[in-house]
Amino acid sequence: MGEWGFLGSVFEGLQAHSPMLGRFWLFLMLVFRIVILGTVASDLFEDEQLEFSCNTLQPGCKQVCYDKAFPISQYRFWVFHIVLIATPSLVFVMYATHHNNKKAKRPKSKRLYIVNVMFRIAAEVGFLVGQCKLYSFEVPAQYPCDRFPCPYTVDCFTSRPMEKTIFLYFYFGVGVLSAFSSTGEPLTPKFC
C-alpha cells in the first residue's frame, strides 16, 4: 500500500481547508476506498486473469474472452477513479496552501473549491454510470464466449465471483454516498 502514501499529505491539507461534509468525504476516501482497495481488494483481484479459465486449450481464446468479460479490470477502474477524484483536491490544496498567509479575502480560493466539488460530483456520477455499464451489479461465475480465435462458443469461469459481486455493491454504495455528501457540502469552504 506504499503507492498510496503520497495521498496522505494531500488529504491532510484538504482536511484543513474543508467544511464538515468535506471531511466526511475524506473519511470515505481514506477508509472505504483507499484502505479497503489497498488491503482487501488487492488480494482479491491480483490473480483475476490467471484464475480466469475457459473449457478450451485454443491459444489466445482465454485472453480474448477475458477481455470481453472485463474490458477494464475492476481493481484498475477503481484505482483510476480514486486518482481522478483526488487530483482536483490536490490542486486546491496546493493553491490554498500557497495563499494561506494572505489576510485578504480570497474569492479565487472559494471559486476553486466550488470547481473542485463540482468536478468531484461529476466524476462520482460518471464512475457510477461507468461501473453500471461495464459490470452491472454482478460478476457471473460463467461467461459464454464466441470470439475469434475460439473454435466454438466456450464457457469461461471467473474466480471468486461472489466476493467480486459484493465489492461491486460496496463500491457502488460508497460512490453514491460520496456523491450525496458532495452535493450537500456547503459552497463556502473553511479556510485556515
Domain membership of residue 26 as a residue range: 2-50+73-141+160-183
Length of the chain: 192
Q: How far apart are CA 187 and CA 115, in angstroms?
A: 10
Domain contains 68:
no
Q: How many domains does the chain have?
A: 1
Q: What is the pLDDT of residue 188?
A: 45
Q: How far apart are CA 164 and CA 168, in angstroms?
A: 6
Output the domain CATH number for residue 127. Answer: 1.20.1440.80
> Count H helices, E strands: the chain?
9, 3
Closest by alpha carbon to 121, among 83, 75, 176? Answer: 176
Matching residue, cell 455499464: 133
pLDDT digits (tens, 9 = 90+) for 13-52: 555 656 666 677 777 777 788 888 888 888 888 888 888 9
